[in-house]
Amino acid sequence: MDADDGKYLADTLRLLQQADAWAVRINGDSPGLQPAPHSPLWRDDDKAHPYQLSNAAWLLLGSAVDHLGALQALLHDAKVIPRSAPYTLVRAGLENACGAVWLLRPPKRTERLARRLRLATADVKQREQARQMISQPGPRTEQECLDEIRDIAKRAGLAAAALKDRATYTEIVQTVDQSEPDIDIQTIWKVCSAFSHGDMWATLGWSQQTQVSKTAQPGIAALRVEADLRLLTLAAATAVRVTQVGWRLYDERSRSPY
């Protein structure tokens, strides 16, 4: 590790220190989980019950913090810098932070509710798929759960078309990227996803490489491939910044109007 790498590692660890305060916040004994009565998020929860928007956003932010904390433990406590695993942790942190921002960002309650119920619909379907794999049906059928969600949407004044499309992280990340023009979210997400999947283009194009020996095959090199700490700093900074936006929106939506 040269001087530049040491600087980038120190910058990354400094960024990730914010995860410590967030980890305290998501502790079950900490205040602030429930939105204040009559706040926008409290009213969202009332309309979406039992699929509270605040609970979903809190869970997403908690998962983002969990992964960023794991990255901090890997780099600081274990003092290990794997080639790909740090980007997998950043990707998970970034996706979950984007999910929270995606839920909380819309100024209109109907749009926030539509997004929450779209996530609920996807969750029901994925849960039922898992139950079918292990032949363990739940207390209610998939159709009963979906009908409940549609009834909630109808009472909230949402058209059936509002829940038609499945919420995907491709849509979520793209939407949040457009709402945060000063953060290049989509590019970082794509690169981190590529490392998570072991894609060749990311490994060859976004890693530090040192030729260690020649091979007998023309055009083939034996390389030592290591994480690019400059890229890792940028990726971690992106995930941290989006998580900050998520917490800010949560606090704004949870604040009492009185």
Segment 228-243, tens digit of pLDDT:
899 999 999 999 999 9
Write the CB contacts of 162 (distance below 8 Å, at least 6 apart in sequence): 110, 114, 117, 118, 153
Q: Which DSSP string do the residues of 173-208 spell out, in sequence order?
A: HHHHHHH-TTS-HHHHHHHHHHHHHT-HHHHHHSEE
User: With 80 as the cut, is the pLDDT of residue 36 above it?
Assistant: yes
pLDDT at 28: 63
- Distance CA(165)–CA(125), nearest Å, equals 13
Maximum C-alpha span of the chain: 75
Task: Report the DSSP beta bridge partners of residue 226.
Answer: 208
In contact, 96 and 60? CB cutoff 8 Å: yes
User: With 60 as the cut, is the pLDDT of residue 216 above it?
Assistant: no
Phi, psi of 180, rounded to the nearest 5 degrees: -125, 75
